[in-house]
Amino acid sequence: MNPAPSAFRQQLLGAVPRLRRYARSLVFEDAQSDDLVQSTLERALTHWYQFDQQRDMVVWLLSIAHNAHLDMRRKDSRMQILDPSQLQTAQDSLGGDAGVDVGLRLDLLAALARLSPEQREPLLLVCVEQFSYAEVAEVLHIPVGTVMSRVCRARAAMRGLLDGQAKPGAATLRRVV
């Protein structure tokens, strides 16, 4: 297969910041999110000819990231939900700034990290990437109805965590202020 043409590469480069943000909010740990980004880009460059110019590059790219993430989780069982003791590190790595509502912000990421990847992914895609349910369905290879219910459950679970209605053992997730 021919190497990716330069127009494609430029387009891909433009999508890298969003890919990196997605990887870091999905995986939290720097080294692992870097791996995810790298392996996603490598796959995109190898399969550039599969990209349909009619489509949104970011949707296509995050769908590759989703697959790469699944592969990483299969290979590495450590890629499970973060242990609460790791949360502070994870939050630090996301570069929290000490704003006035720092307590709320930290809790937000902690709550996000507590969600299963199955809930976290659609929630991020809808809330942060502002994808439509149809686009999320495309990224995650699941039906739109499933997207709808996962987003709803993820949202309710996150709110529950933020309100301190956490399951036993999650006391640390209570609001700090």
Partner 1 sequence: MTNHRDAIDDELLSAWVDGELDASPEQRQQVEAWLREHPQDAARVRQWAADRDALRERLAPLLGEPVPPRLRALVLGQAEPAQRRWLQAAMAAGLLLTGGVIGALLGRHWRDAEPAGPLAAASAPANGSGWVQRAAYAHSVYVPEPRHAVEVKAQEEHLARWLTRRIDLPVKLFDLRDQGFELVGGRLLPDGPGKSAQLMYQDAQGTRITVYLRKPDQATEAAFRYEQQGDVGLFYWVEAGAGYALVGALPKERLLALAQEIYRQHPAPGAAATPAAAASR
Residues found near partner 1 in the complex (CB under 8 A): 3-4, 6, 9-10, 12-13, 16-18, 20-21, 24-25, 37-38, 41-42, 45, 94-95, 97, 104-105, 108-109, 112, 123-124, 126-128, 130, 132-133, 148-149, 151-152, 155-156, 158-159, 162
Burial of 127 (0-12, 13-18, 19+ CB in 10 A): middle
Q: Could you write out the DSSP letters of every residue in 99-157?
A: -TTHHHHHHHHHHHHHS-HHHHHHHHHHHTS---HHHHHHHHT--HHHHHHHHHHHHHH
Decide whether 65 or 77 has the Cβ nearer to partner 1.
65
Decide whether 10 or 77 has the Cβ nearer to partner 1.
10
User: Smallest distance from the beta carbon of 152 to partner 1, in angstroms?
Assistant: 4
Decide whether 87 or 124 has the Cβ nearer to partner 1.
124
User: Smallest distance from the beta carbon of 140 to partner 1, in angstroms?
Assistant: 15
Burial of 120 (0-12, 13-18, 19+ CB in 10 A): buried
